[in-house]
Structure 1
Amino acid sequence: MMSRNISKTDTQLTHRKVTFDFSKTTLHWIPNDPFTSQFLSVIHTILPAGEFFFFRLYNKAKHDITDEKLLDDVNGFIRQEATHARAHNTGTNDLLIKQGVDVQPYIEKIEWLFNVLLSDTPLGYTLSKNAEKKWLIARLGLVAAIEHFTCVLGKYALENTRWDEMNADPVILDVLRWHAAEEIEHRSVAFDVYQHLSGNYLMRYLHMLIAATGIISLWALGATDLMKQDPAFSAQKPKVLGRFFWSTWQNRANKGRLPSVATLVVISFRYLHPSYNPANEADTQQALDYLSNSPAAKQAATAA
């Protein structure tokens, strides 16, 4: 028997086969702000492995979904996440590697996290059927927490005007905002799946603790890795545990160029409310309005 009102997604999730040309984009794509440029560019190295992990995980989970609308949402979610991975992979190759940045050691760490530690056989261990089911639910819960962040940060990207005022590279801005808009579009899917297959409220605390710690840590590690290779930071020698990185992050947050650590903490606590509903975290129409004007999305629609 089909369950009802499981899906909270209020739009058909469209697969937009976007492409981006980074050939004219410089490493410091926000003029006179190498810190914010590198801080945001690190997403190109983090996201591909993570997005492909989502792709594999939800392809596995969808066999347990009994709600037709939710299953349709999941298929749309999978297609969008795969395109996100490919777009950011292009960013890694064309923006970073072609301009001499060695990102391979960092990417290998990210791939180990998603392809080994969080795989169906974590660290190479084959699980029993019962443990396999629990491990699937645990990872779905973790992704639901991560998707809460991507939704709220996506809203931040769509509403941030400081990047435009600073004449940031339009291609990068379109990448960020196209991705942001699609995160808002499918913001309810991961949480709906978790609620449908488990819904354990107390475990959400653990999932968010891991997600929040992981996001901040991976971002800091990746950003400082990029900055260490950038001559603009030769005097500061940024370190994850160094004062320069964290104080400069706060400085850029104060100027409206980045979300602050405090903002990320507040975001995480909202997920823990018993009545949490991702549909309330952003506006689908705002996302669709951007997508109707996105150069890449418009080009993809024309080519379809």
Structure 2
Amino acid sequence: MARRRSPARASRRVNVRRGEVELAVDVRGPADAPVVLLVHGYPDTRAVWSELVPRLARTHRVITYDVRGAGASTRPREDAAYDLRELADDAAAVIDACAGGRAVHVVGHDWGAIQSWELVTTARAEGRVASFTSISGPCLDHVGRWIGDAARSPARLAAVLAQAPRSIYIAALRIPGLAERVWPRLGPYWPALRDVAERGRVFADMRGDRPSAGGAAPTLADDGATGARLYRRNIVRRVRAPREDAHARVPVQVVVPLRDRFVSRALAVEAPRPWCAELSVREIDAGHWCVRSAPDAVARAVSEHVARIESRRSGTGTGTGTVGEIRPRRVSFDLSGTPVPWIPGDRFTSHVTDVLHLLLPAGERWFVDVYREALPLVRDARLRADMKGFMGQEATHARVHDLVLDHLRANGVETEPFTRRVEWMFEHVFGAHPPRGVPLTPRLWLELRLGGIAAVEHFTCVLGRWICERSAALDAAGADRAMLALLRWHGAEEIEHRAVAFDTLAHVAGRRAYVWRAIGMLLAVPILTWLWDRGTDYFIDRDPVMADTRVGHGDFVRAVRQRRVPGRALVTAIPRFLSRGYHPRHEASSEVARAYLQPANNNAR
């Protein structure tokens, strides 16, 4: 009687076709389990996962495939066919065909990780990828930025120089025809050479690792020769001209084999750090081919990372905010008992803070108007959903701050003379059409305003983080609870949607995004400084207690030292925003926003 195989052992083999390329795919594991996609490197095939798959397939749906040019998959002859964009499209096709409509947890090793970075840093990841684990394969765009910025830091320059000898083999693989001549002779010796590279001695194991499983694949000579096109097509092209928008769109785990002879820890961890909103690092005592030599350690790292992400997706855990969750909230604040000024004994700080209410209603309605113009240009469904949520939140902010203006007027502070000037600026200087004499097309005028919004949103995120995390001095000073609740609710939502303006600018402006980002900051700093100065003077002039008081820079410094207003945080935010590798997802923690916005913790009434 035939024995029935367990779901973990049963394997389904399929071929996935994309254009002229056919990819050989294996699927194993329970159909209702979290889906893991394993992407192999060079010069391997999907067989490199032979030790790992049985361990993962007990509790995961595991997909492996031979990438183009390897194993049983098609081998295009042109170097252009091995462009990272083609490889990422292949991975997307495998996910679409085999994942049953679910987002997968991608695990890439060596070149499998390199090409998977292309997948998870582009719109291809939307709806397809839940997380990414990178093993010994950096993103080439990140490498380019990491090397380019090395001169700014002696420590980074030392790390780049230390990586150089590990990468010397790349020069040989880029020589046309060399791999084609060498691999047929090298193939039979490859398993032994691989183990020499792994541990220094053939099958010698002084640390407890097992020798690499398996011998040479029957297709190894062709795999090695064809796969060299990966190096010729991508290395120099990407490192010299890295993308400016190579931000990971999913949580990333970097597994660092501490005895990797090819990829240093600095390259594996520090190069991607500025580009990942959520980056975790797992070190294991193994070499480069750890997926063969230390499968238990790798399986634990992958399983625990997948479980952590799945718990968030199912609502059983906590995590960072995900795109598409941004939404306006129905809130109300009872200001009937709020005094004017609202910080006892500190009229100056009250007035400085109240300038927000003078600027925000008109400014946030202007944000919404500009985004209505930009929305038809955005094809990314996830970003469109974010933009709509952002617009809803900004409209709600404007309404709530209008109520504060009503409260100020009810307490004898007339605000209309100032707010009318702010409205005029947004309508006539930064309106739907450029002012006379500004030689910009409608598209470029829109991009300039999106750059300005991205810069302002950078500052509002910094302010949001400060009011939510670092404003305990206001509580200690006895500041009005309702006003603090309003400011912290607004700050938490600024943290929540902190990436939307930046991502919208990048999507609409493309390669021009950095220029508009810089111009936006150059405009925002003097305009906001001037408006805040004028607004503070406006309130002080109408304060019967302070009208004849001489107020200057020293008063602001005093408020900063008392930790009642942010100081250094606003100044250091400027160069950070102008860094080419910057993304606002690193600016604050979504956990802070979510914790405050939870109904049980939200002081909004």
TM-score by length of 1: 0.89
1:103 aligns with 2:415: yes
98-107 vs 189-198, which moves further = 98-107
Aligned to 2:580: 274
1:286 pairs with 574, 589, 592, which one? 592
One-letter amino acid of the counterpart of residue 368, structure 2: F
* Distance in 1 (alpha carbons) for counterparts of 2:125 and 2:526: 32
One-letter amino acid of the counterpart of residue 4, structure 1: R
Structural mapping, 1:9-28, within 5 Å:
10-11=322-323, 12-28=325-341
* Distance in 2 (alpha carbons) for counterparts of 1:127 and 1:33: 44
Aligned to 1:209: 522
One-letter amino acid of the counterpart of residue 177, structure 1: R
Superposed displacement of residue 5, structure 1 = 5.1
1:58 pairs with 366, 371, 379, which one? 371
Matched-pair contact (CA < 8 Å) for 1:58–1:74? yes
Structural mapping, 1:114-263, within 5 Å:
114-123=426-435, 131-159=441-469, 160-199=471-510, 200=512, 201-237=514-550, 244-260=551-567, 262-263=568-569
Q: Please list the CA deviations of residues 36-64 of structure 1 after superposition, one character each: whole Å capped at 9, or x if unmatched.
A: 11111111111000000011111110100
**Aligned-pair identity (%):** 37
Aligned to 1:302: none
Aligned to 2:425: 113
Matched-pair contact (CA < 8 Å) for 1:50–1:114? yes
Give the 3 Å change call, closer, same or farther, for CA 231–127 of structure 1 in structure 2: closer
Q: CA RMSD in A?
A: 2.1
212-221 vs 134-143, which moves further = 212-221
One-letter amino acid of the counterpart of residue 220, structure 1: D
Any unmatched runs of 5+ in structure 1? Answer: 238-243, 300-304
* Distance in 2 (alpha carbons) for counterparts of 1:78 and 1:88: 15
Higher strand share goes to which structure? 2
* Distance in 1 (alpha carbons) for counterparts of 2:125 and 2:581: 16
Give the 3 Å change call, closer, same or farther, for CA 185–30 of structure 1 in structure 2: same
Superposed displacement of residue 126, structure 1 = 11
Q: Secondary structure at the match of 1:14?
A: coil
Structural mapping, 1:62-101, within 5 Å:
62-94=375-407, 96-101=408-413
* Distance in 2 (alpha carbons) for counterparts of 1:81 and 1:174: 17
Any unmatched runs of 5+ in structure 2? Answer: 1-88, 90-121, 127-246, 250-320
Superposed displacement of residue 127, structure 1 = 9.4
Q: Please list the CA deviations of residues 189-241 of structure 1 after superposition, one character each: whole Å capped at 9, or x if unmatched.
A: 0000001111422332221111111222111111110011102213325xxxx
* Distance in 2 (alpha carbons) for counterparts of 1:280 and 1:137: 23
Give the 3 Å change call, closer, same or farther, for CA 5–190 of structure 1 in structure 2: farther
7-16 vs 138-147, which moves further = 7-16
Matched-pair contact (CA < 8 Å) for 1:121–1:127? no
Q: Secondary structure at the match of 2:545?
A: helix
* Distance in 1 (alpha carbons) for counterparts of 2:590 and 2:565: 23
* Distance in 2 (alpha carbons) for counterparts of 1:247 and 1:5: 51
Aligned to 2:8: none
One-letter amino acid of the counterpart of residue 354, structure 2: S
* Distance in 2 (alpha carbons) for counterparts of 1:207 and 1:29: 33
Matched-pair contact (CA < 8 Å) for 1:224–1:245? no
Higher helix share goes to which structure? 1
Aligned length: 287
Q: Please list the CA deviations of residues 240-278 of structure 1 after superposition, one character each: whole Å capped at 9, or x if unmatched.
A: xxxx33210111101111112x43221111100010010
Q: Please list the CA deviations of residues 64-109 of structure 1 after superposition, one character each: whole Å capped at 9, or x if unmatched.
A: 0010000000000000000000000000111x11111121111111
Aligned to 1:43: 356
Moved over 6 A (4+): none
Q: Which has the higher contact order (CA 8 A, sep 6+)?
A: 1
